[in-house]
Chain A
Amino acid sequence: MRIIACYSNKGGVGKTAASVNIAYELAQSGLRTLLCDLDPQGASGFYFRVKPSKKLKNETFFKDVKRFTQAIRGSDFDYLDVLPANMTFRDFDIFLSRMKNSRSRLKKALKSVNNDYDVVLLDCPPNISALSESVFKAADHIMVPVIPSTLSERTFEQLLDFFKQHKLPSKKLVPFFSMVQRQKKMHTETMERMRSNYKKSFLNESIPFSTDVEKMGVHRAPVMSYARSRPAAKAYQVLCEELRETIKS
């Protein structure tokens, strides 16, 4: 079982859209996939029409294997299950800080579904916290959506610094450009600069800014399920192919 996190220390970068669409595409390729919504806003679950879990509250996520597995719901799509979030997830940091070995707690909880899935995708909340440290420890790969803007460039650098300071393997980071508007000069220039500064670390494919993605909230489904031939959906498909190669290697 591979654990892939979708993480950004900045909000509004297309992180949940990426989690939802990547999870969908991996499942479509036959990989048994679990999408774990760790963001208390519960957007991932919303996109799959799964109601917030009532019983998986507070520490139970990390302590009660039975409750954890019982909260998983099958999505409307083959091979794809969802663990919906609820508002108590916002206090994960507090629970984790109270617990011993807090950084390996998440990995332990995920171990309980080890045989059920080929891939677990974690949709993480946008901050650097005790939870994100757990995520960094548990995940095999950390996908980082980056909008090619000055502000995003800065947050990506902050993330790299954090990894260095805490001696975390930056190899785990799989950044990719998100919400790209090619008509904006700043976007293309930033992309060029960052690709040359962080050689080989960015995925080749980037996700364009798209109203099709925005409409996910109306359709309440992954963009590939209703607009598969549109540019954004195609970009996610290519991105997933690259991701599968990365997972293999």
Chain B
Amino acid sequence: MSIPDNKHFILLGTLQDNTRASKLGKLKLDYQTPEDSVRFTLFDSFDQEIRHSGKALILSQNVLTLIQYDGETLTQAAPKAPGFVSEMDDGPVKRALGFISPLRRLLAVGQGTLSRTVIIALDSEEKTHARAHVHTLQADKSGTPITLATIQALRGYDEAFALMSRHIAQLGYPLGPDIYSLYEQLVPDYTPYNPKPVLFITKNEQAFKVANDIVTTHVQIARQNEPGIMADYDTEFLHDYRVSLRKVRSVISLFKGVYNVEQTLQLKKAFADLMSPTGRMRDLDVYLLDRQHYYELLPESLHDGLTIMYGIFSKEREKELKKMKSLLKSSAYKQSIEGLEKLYLEPGALQPGPNADRSAYLYACELIWKRYSKVCKIARAIDQTTPDETVHDLRIHCKKLRYLMDFFSLLFEANTIKSLLKSLKVLQDNLGLFNDYSVQQVSLQEFVQNHTSRNREKDLQVAKSVGALIVILSQRQLEERAKVVSNFEKFDSESTQQKFRELFKHQQTKAEVKA
């Protein structure tokens, strides 16, 4: 037998004076209110990782409280508002927040006032048999307060625990079955954010409509990131912004014939124009995030050059951020992106192409099967003598294959698609690293060539460090390159081939026969 667990309640409403009973069975009830109501702030990452995990993080009077819907409520002292989890003081709350991406900053998402009451059930000896900690939260923006009650389990007093549980449950309407309802009350205007939505499409839907849905959704995701980019909370805002726009661009180029030629060209250009000013800032973010790793790659004697380089990168990033801010605020940008949104909203504004009316399912099978065949064709021919460009091509085709499978994932058997994506990912990660090492070498080379200052000694230090870095990156690239053949062989297994054929080729042949 072990020590019993505490019980938690999330109730709609507040502890009213008229619900303050003086007795609980034979026990006397005592109410203690430690202080007047205080301010509280609710925190979460922009992608709402805390909410999605069934938790809520509250800061009040320099104490962080983590409410876990199915677990113990944790607290720790917090002299300041939480930012990145890695920068928080060590404590139970920090440890329980380990699942949050290290790249994400915690942001204030709601505020209000909090009042505390402790309800104690005492026997004739004034011994506590049950204790309930009741916190009532009143959000500034919402009319309905939320009451969080934790009944502390005291070993050996099961009867009082049960009585107290019943008593507390009657104080308000139970909220549930999950933590989402708590957020609904405390942050009524909390917009959900999901950078990787699974779009609902049916087999017979028009390819044209599917393309439009994907574009509209991802433009919306990109736009949700605009305020975060401008506030520069963390680097993920720009990253998600770019990923969404990249997905939009790949739909436009991959869904051939869904829009007519002119429309396709126009859309390609418009979205490429939106994305191009973001490239340098993202490159700098990647360098700055990898700082520790770069220092570890080089011996200490070459660190000074890196420090100079990072100083330059930090300054350049500041400039890029300023540019991004004024760009996103500019009327030209607003006109451009709102124009695109409008184009997708107005019926008849977009010009369909010859494939517009095809059914999503058959169209998806065809696109995926073709792309898969292409990947196999290129990869099977790769050996030690193949030029790097071909390996780069393979990477791009793999990425396109992945996007297509992601876009249409709902049309196919979930587990099969999942397992295929998983085996593709290993190859993609390998190719991704190969590409990163190669791109970084080129960009570092450019940096050294273009970097001249009045201080020749410093320039020399930079050249030495960056030169050494390029040598290491080139070795890493070779190592990744050597893995490509074996990783493709693993991907190209009999069972994977069979699954691709069954899912995409088989259906197409049947459809063709039918046609």
Contact = CB atoms under 8 A, between A and B. Distances in A.
A214 B123 CA distance: 24
Contacts of B3: 32, 81, 116
Interface string B1-22: 1110000000000000000000
Contacts of A116: 2-3
B127 A115 contact: no
A74 B2 contact: no
A20 to B, nearest CB: 14
Contacts of A71: 156
B303 to A, nearest CB: 40
Interface string B146-159: 00000001111100
A55 B300 CA distance: 70
A142 interface: no
Interface string B109-147: 000000000000001011110000000000000000000
Contacts of A32: 3
A121 to B, nearest CB: 15
Contact of B128 (A69, A70, A76): A76
A74 B164 CA distance: 16
A81 B128 CA distance: 12
A160 interface: no
A48 B156 contact: no
Contacts of B155: 72-74, 81
A69 B156 CA distance: 9
Contacts of B157: 73-74
Contacts, number: 36
Interface string A41-61: 000000011110000000000
A66 interface: yes
A66 B154 contact: no
The bracket for how many chain B residues form the interface is 10 to 19
A91 B219 CA distance: 81
Contacts of A70: 1, 156
B5 to A, nearest CB: 13
A220 B126 CA distance: 10
Given A69-B1, A116-B2, A116-B3, A49 B156 contact: no
A162 to B, nearest CB: 35
Interface string A106-142: 0000000001100000000000000000000000000
> Chain A's interface: helix, strand, loop or mixed, by majority?
loop
Contacts of B2: 115-116
A188 to B, nearest CB: 40
Contacts of A48: 127
Most B CB contacts (10 A, CB to CB) among A32, A74, A116, A220 go to A74
B1 A50 contact: no
A74 B153 contact: yes
Nearest to B156: A73
Contacts of A76: 127-128
> Chain B's interface: helix, strand, loop or mixed, by majority?
loop
A49 B125 contact: yes
A51 B125 contact: yes
A26 to B, nearest CB: 16
A195 to B, nearest CB: 39
B127 A49 contact: yes
B452 to A, nearest CB: 59
A73 B1 contact: no
A211 B127 CA distance: 23
Contacts of B128: 76
Nearest to B154: A74
A69 B125 CA distance: 22
Most B CB contacts (10 A, CB to CB) among A48, A49, A50 go to A49
Nearest to B125: A49
A72 B156 contact: yes
A27 to B, nearest CB: 13
Interface in B148-201: 153-157
A167 B3 CA distance: 37
A195 B261 CA distance: 98
A74 B2 CA distance: 12
Contacts of A66: 1
Most A CB contacts (10 A, CB to CB) among B1, B125, B128 go to B1
B126 A73 contact: no
Interface string A6-31: 00000000000000000000000000
Contacts of B153: 74
Nearest to B1: A69
A76 B121 CA distance: 11
Nearest to B2: A116
Nearest to B158: A70
Nearest to A48: B127
A46 to B, nearest CB: 9
A32 B156 CA distance: 16
Nearest to A83: B156
Nearest to A49: B127
A74 B3 CA distance: 9
A171 to B, nearest CB: 32
Contacts of B154: 73-74
Contacts of A72: 155-156
B93 to A, nearest CB: 15
A48 B125 CA distance: 10
Contacts of A49: 123, 125-127
A71 B155 CA distance: 9
* A-B CB proximity, top 3 nearest: A74-B154, A49-B127, A73-B156
Interface of A: 32, 48-51, 66, 69-74, 76, 81, 115-116, 220
17 contacts: A32-B3, A48-B127, A49-B125, A49-B126, A51-B123, A51-B127, A66-B1, A69-B1, A70-B1, A72-B155, A73-B155, A74-B153, A76-B127, A81-B3, A115-B2, A116-B2, A220-B126
Given A70-B156, A115-B2, 10 more contacts: A32-B3, A49-B125, A69-B1, A72-B155, A73-B154, A73-B156, A81-B3, A81-B155, A81-B156, A116-B3
